[in-house]
A = this chain, B = another copy of it.
């Protein structure tokens, strides 16, 4: 990965420090625009009325491949293409939104793409990957999947990291950049932390178009490695995957590359599983959109922040994705949280 990253860091737009120049997000936005949906900003009159604030959602659940992840993957590959380095073959190991995004990008750009997943991954995710035309290799365990990916990488197949990559970070930042271009005008921006790619890009985008806005990261309490890292000033991680319902935030730890941005955020919020489920139900109800539990985490965090505010606020919530398998749907609707109307 380091040789791929150095190509980008040598770009004249990048700064001398380890942080990218925010202009990289503008370049990424122009680069990927022809291939993605410019997803809408949405809001709910009922929710705003109940909370007494304006909540604006960037609907990346309606993005191609069902999440924002395609932005980073596309920016990475299109950057390579501009440098005449587009790989013929690509591999990713993932059971989540990164897998779907890489498969979709492979199809868009005509790259021979292999996705390696453990066989316990739901059939619907397997079908989606194959539907995008990627080869699917199933292994018994996740370590086996990683080992097989490394094997392919050693043979010259290009491996796309989900967040430890400057072009990926710049790409993820385009979701926030679009929101600000489209007039979100937020007092505060909330995004979830998995590996930190979305938050890093969001911070960069805000420097350009909303430098006064506060930017908050958030995580499930069960997967609070980034929060603990933020508070302690150095990266701490989990040894075993935290089994939060928010499967996009199960990452063991952030990267040095993303931690440099996370340290610049205004604060981090931790969200309990029950609050994740509460907001997953309510966002589906008021937005009529399929919202995955990971995407409900920033709404729960925004709610906690709004409780502390004494004047009316405008909040931008990055609604990261909408990919949910049947088992997770069942877990989401096990209890009835819709009986309790949101109220500050």
Sample of 15 more A-B contacts, CB < 8 Å, known A62-B288, A326-B333, A326-B339: A46-B128, A49-B131, A66-B288, A123-B339, A124-B338, A281-B326, A284-B290, A285-B290, A288-B289, A288-B290, A289-B290, A326-B337, A330-B330, A330-B334, A333-B333
Q: How far is the CA of A285 from the CA of B125 in the complex (A)?
A: 11
Q: A322 interface residue, CB < 8 Å from B?
A: yes
Residues in chain B near residue A131, CB distance under 8 A: 46, 49-50, 341
Residues in chain B near residue A322, CB distance under 8 A: 288
Would A326 and B330 be within 8 Å (CB), given that A284-B290, A289-B290 are in contact?
no
Residue of B nearest to A60 (CB): B288
Q: Tally A residues with Cβ within 8 Å of B.
A: 35
Q: A61 interface residue, CB < 8 Å from B?
A: yes
Q: Encode A325-336 as 1/0 by CB contact (under 8 A) with B.
A: 111011011111
Q: Encode A47-70 as 1/0 by CB contact (under 8 A) with B.
A: 001100000000001100010000
Residue of B nearest to A126 (CB): B339
Q: How far is the CA of A49 from the CA of B128 in the complex (A)?
A: 12
Q: A312 interface residue, CB < 8 Å from B?
A: no
Q: A264 interface residue, CB < 8 Å from B?
A: no
Q: A127 interface residue, CB < 8 Å from B?
A: yes
Report 19 cross-chain contacts, Cβ distance below 8 Å, ordered by A residue: A49-B131, A62-B288, A66-B288, A122-B338, A124-B285, A124-B338, A124-B339, A127-B341, A131-B341, A281-B326, A285-B324, A287-B290, A325-B338, A326-B335, A326-B336, A326-B338, A330-B330, A330-B333, A333-B333
| Residue of A127, A287, A338 most packed against chain B (CB within 10 A) | A338
Q: Which of A274-315 contact B (CB under 8 A)?
A: 281, 284-285, 287-290
**Contact partner of A289 among B289, B325, B336, B338, CB < 8 A?**
B289
Whether A288 pairs with B61 at a CB distance below 8 angstroms is: yes
Whether B290 pairs with A338 at a CB distance below 8 angstroms is: no
Residues in chain B near residue A338, CB distance under 8 A: 122-124, 127, 325-326
Kindly provide the distance from the CB of A25 to the nearest chain B CB, expressed in whole angstroms: 25
Residue of B nearest to A326 (CB): B336
Residues in chain B near residue A50, CB distance under 8 A: 131
Residues in chain B near residue A332, CB distance under 8 A: 329
Kindly provide the distance from the CB of A52 to the nearest chain B CB, expressed in whole angstroms: 13
Residues in chain B near residue A333, CB distance under 8 A: 326, 329-330, 333
Q: How far is the CA of A151 from the CA of B231 in the complex (A)?
A: 64
Kindly provide the distance from the CB of A73 to the nearest chain B CB, expressed in whole angstroms: 17
Q: Which of A107-138 contact B (CB under 8 A)?
A: 122-124, 127-128, 131
Residues in chain B near residue A61, CB distance under 8 A: 288
Kindly provide the distance from the CB of A219 to the nearest chain B CB, expressed in whole angstroms: 23
Residues in chain B near residue A127, CB distance under 8 A: 338, 341
Kindly provide the distance from the CB of A100 to the nearest chain B CB, expressed in whole angstroms: 11
Residue of B nearest to A325 (CB): B338
| Residue of A281, A324, A329, A335 most packed against chain B (CB within 10 A) | A329
Q: How far is the CA of A257 from the CA of B339 in the complex (A)?
A: 38
Kindly provide the distance from the CB of A302 to the nearest chain B CB, expressed in whole angstroms: 20
Residue of B nearest to A67 (CB): B288
